[in-house]
Amino acid sequence: MIDESRNLDLLMNVSLRVRAELGKCTMRVSDVLKLGRGSIVALDRPAGTPIDVFVNDRLVARGEVVAVEDRYGVRLTEVIVRKMQRA
């Protein structure tokens, strides 16, 4: 019999890349070279729009930006549930 809890324990220390995306834009090289302190880069989302949270480049949640001590964080407001595909 397979010990499923042991199999799950093996996965608990696997590292995943987590990314929070506020928005994006496309800029010409000449415009990027003009950027400096105080420059503003306009993104493709309006203010107040939820932040997308990706795990290994797959959208898994949305949330809002929060301050946690001296760092930023994301409070999740929606978890994206996808049906698993069977092999």
Describe the strand order of the beta sheet including 58-68 as a list of residue ranges: 18-21, 51-55, 58-68, 71-79
Provide the whole-model pTM.
Answer: 0.74
Domain boundaries, the chain: 15-79
Domain 15-79 has CATH 3.40.50.10490: no
Taking only the tens place, the pLDDT of each residue in 4-22 is: 667 778 888 899 999 999 9
Strands (E), the chain: 18-21, 51-55, 58-68, 71-79
Condensed to tens digits (0 to 9), the pLDDT of residues 52-67 reads: 999 999 999 999 999 9
